[in-house]
Structure 1
Amino acid sequence: MSNYTFVFLEIFSQEGGIQAYVKDVLKAYLSLIKNSNHPSKTDIFLLRDAPDCNNPLTSNLINYHYLKTLPLWKGRLKLAINLLTHLIQKRPQRVFCGHINLAPLVQFFCQPLGIPYTVLTYGKEVWKTLPKAQQTALKNADSIWTISRYSRDCLCQANNINLNKVEIVPCIVDGDQFTPEEKPTELIEKYQLQDTKVLMTVARLWSGDIYKGVDVTIRALPKILQFFPNVKYVVIGRGDDRPRLEQLTKDLGISDRVVFAGFVATEDLIDHYRMADAYIMPSQEGFGIVYLEAMACGVPVLSGDADGSADPLQDGKLGWRVPHRDPEAVAQGCIEILQGDDKRCQGQWLRQQTIAQFSPEALSQKLASLI
């Protein structure tokens, strides 16, 4: 394997979609270098992670540079000095830049040294026209990776980037972890879901993330209840938008049909998926790992119809895609899922189709073809 360097904002000190994606990419990369006949040591620079962070990916093949320093400007200065010194001394064959905010710095150092670099992008952070320095860093990159066709198209259109420069490196799901099982009795009792059909969403409840569509699903409930009076909607997540959403359920007279479960730790999420009859998130996602997780557990899904969810849902082959701010369309989709007559409701088939395309093995094969 070649001598590579990675630069990230943070991976291990916070949980989120970007962090989960980066961990999966690094796991796949680590499996490649472990199986290489001549593995080289890889250096990974982490601006906001500290040495005492919970890092499950430690390896004697990776040298982590933890650079978290307060105040923040000191951390950025520390990154710049350490990275430049490393590039001059080690001359890696390629630098992988893990966030658009770091791309101008990586370009500034790599270009004069003749070191090619790749920029990893995720979702909405690159969907709009970027500042000139970030645009220039993208245009001068040797390649760009992103997670879905939608993110690629938004990125290229907004920033005048050549489509051929962008590679799709999708999100994945661990099919050994996310598996179908019977509904967990303990959780059914905890949330009082006996004899109910369960709709579920896992999302941040931040006022800046209204696009996740929890409010739309709540507005769809009165119509759904006309057909399935025993429906309950479980919302997993925390954030400052929860009071507004709770008030909305009261205004609609359905507060007894919505369960705000709050924060659920990652290791407990799998059992929560298993208690759902449908995973509902009419959103605007860069990809939507949660759809993969639900489908790997055999749970039918509904998403928005104008975003990166087209990839995990395989253009509607595996799930319902509806206008993301339309309660009527969401209600109709939920009713069809709960009726259960569609092939997309067959849990085992849904799981097989998902794992075939979005497994860790598929990601390793993709990385092998790129690096």
Structure 2
Amino acid sequence: MSKQSNYTFVFLEIFSQEGGIQAYVKDVILAYISLIEQSQNPPTTDIFLLRDSPDCDNPFKTDLINFHYLKTIPPWKGRLNLAFSLLNHLIKTRPKKVFCGHINLATLIQFFCQPLGIPYTILTYGKEVWKPLPKSQQKALQNADSIWTISRYSRDRLCEANKIDPKTVEILPCIVKGNQFTPGEKPPELLLKYGLKDAKIIMTVARLWSGDIYKGVDVTIRALPKILQSRPNVKYLVIGRGDDLPRLEELAKDLGVSDRVVFAGFVPTEDLVKHYRVADAYIMPSQEGFGIVYLEAMACGIPVLSGDADGSADPLQDGRVGWRVSHRDAEAVAQGCLEILQGNDQRCQGTWLRESTLEQFSPETLSKKLASLI
């Protein structure tokens, strides 16, 4: 990075909302900060935040980055503020590159950057770009200097739906913090709390929303009768909340397995690692853009099962470190669970599983990848 370089990032928000996109963006910003802190001539960096306010909890405050908070009431004023502030900034500073943090900002970024001759990169995450987008957003993608996304699957869906050349898309994957998600003994207090003592435990962490049936919790419940034929001591711990809970509870009741399913409700992020340690297997036959939860489980030494036609191919390294099965096939899920619980496969060896995961998806690997892209 040369002394004259400056970079501009534009996001919807980072700190005022929680979710997969926000968590991913935070990891990218942390990796970027680590790069510029190591630079002898750190670039000037500006980050524009449409929906964050100055009083938000920003753990990334540093003299190396200028944060511009633009949240207003009513929201349309914030959008106007962003447009005027960003245009003024681009004209005055002429950054080396602009990084657009969401597809909903892409049209504005293109409109400003192209006439000024400023290259821009668009960051994408998952299903927000999997379907055909409005022509203006497609044009912004097609004219971008580059596009970043989290997995090969997301790249392929993005390109197919929106006529994008795959050569312009780079993979900047999700990661797991190995110092946060670590192996450990099963916490006795959680075994007692959920009635799991002496049980073999399969687990899922997912939103239980009716719009997210693809997470596959219902499929795993349907797999339980076959699993219990061979492993009658299995219990299924489901962590998450949402409006689909009544349907899932009724399904477990109808299948006669309600006493084997424990709905734990919402668990804060800081308590998740203890819950992963409870599990003997992490089961989520889903359709993910990536699936950070698989990384979290494997970093804790827990073997995993995913769907076989989605972005989980990346964290599971095409099946090298986990089981991939047809995501709506209860029979296949049951068979995979039974194989995991037998524990004979290398993919069940916790130390190897953790090392193989962190080798590919640690904060350090993200920093290296980001350095190569910038």
In the superposition, the TM-score normalised over structure 2's length comes to 0.97
* Correspondent of 1:132 among 132, 135, 150: 135
Counterpart residue number, 2:302:
299
**C-alpha displacement at 1:16, in angstroms?**
1.3
- Range with greater deviation from structure 2 (131-140 or 13-22): 13-22
Aligned AA (1:357):
Q
* Correspondent of 1:29 among 32, 43, 58: 32
Counterpart residue number, 1:142:
145
Q: Does residue 262 of structure 1 match 2:270?
A: no
**C-alpha displacement at 1:56, in angstroms?**
1.6
Structure 1 segment 127-276 matched on structure 2, within 5 A = 127-276=130-279
**C-alpha displacement at 1:161, in angstroms?**
0.7
**C-alpha displacement at 1:85, in angstroms?**
1.4
Q: Does residue 14 of structure 1 match 2:17?
A: yes
Aligned AA (2:274):
D
Aligned AA (1:17):
G
Q: Distance in 2 between matches of 1:139 and 1:234?
A: 44
Structure 1 segment 277-356 matched on structure 2, within 5 A = 277-356=280-359
Aligned AA (2:88):
T
Q: Distance in 2 between matches of 1:52 and 1:269?
A: 28
Q: Distance in 2 between matches of 1:181 and 1:175?
A: 13
Q: CA RMSD in A?
A: 1.0
Aligned AA (2:152):
R
- Range with greater deviation from structure 2 (69-78 or 42-51): 69-78
Provide Cα deviations, 1:261-312, integer angstroms capped at 9, x if missing partner.
Answer: 1111111111111111001111111111110010000000000000000000
Q: Distance in 1 between matches of 2:206 and 2:310?
A: 16
Aligned AA (2:239):
I
Aligned AA (2:352):
W
In the superposition, the TM-score normalised over structure 1's length comes to 0.98
Three-state SS of the structure 2 residue aligned to 1:173 is coil
**C-alpha displacement at 1:331, in angstroms?**
0.8
Three-state SS of the structure 2 residue aligned to 1:118 is strand
Provide Cα deviations, 1:191-236, integer angstroms capped at 9, x if missing partner.
Answer: 1110011111111111111111111111111111111111111111
Counterpart residue number, 1:60:
63
**C-alpha displacement at 1:41, in angstroms?**
2.7
Provide Cα deviations, 1:328-347, integer angstroms capped at 9, x if missing partner.
Answer: 11111111111111111111
Q: Distance in 2 between matches of 1:300 and 1:56?
A: 32
Give the ranges of 4+ consecutive aligned residues of structure 1 lying more than 6 Å apart after TM superposition: none
Counterpart residue number, 2:83:
80
Aligned AA (1:301):
V
- Identical columns (%): 79
Q: Distance in 1 between matches of 2:120 and 2:72?
A: 25
Counterpart residue number, 2:362:
359
Q: Distance in 1 between matches of 2:205 and 2:17?
A: 17
Three-state SS of the structure 2 residue aligned to 1:287 is coil
**C-alpha displacement at 1:36, in angstroms?**
0.5
Q: Distance in 1 between matches of 2:367 and 2:340?
A: 33
Counterpart residue number, 2:41:
38
Aligned AA (1:195):
D
Q: Distance in 1 between matches of 2:277 and 2:16?
A: 28
Q: Distance in 1 between matches of 2:73 and 2:334?
A: 48
Three-state SS of the structure 2 residue aligned to 1:195 is coil
Which consecutive residues of structure 2, in runs of 5 or more, have no partner in the other structure? none
Which consecutive residues of structure 1, in runs of 5 or more, have no partner in the other structure? none
Q: Distance in 1 between matches of 2:74 and 2:239?
A: 34
Q: Distance in 2 between matches of 1:15 and 1:233?
A: 26
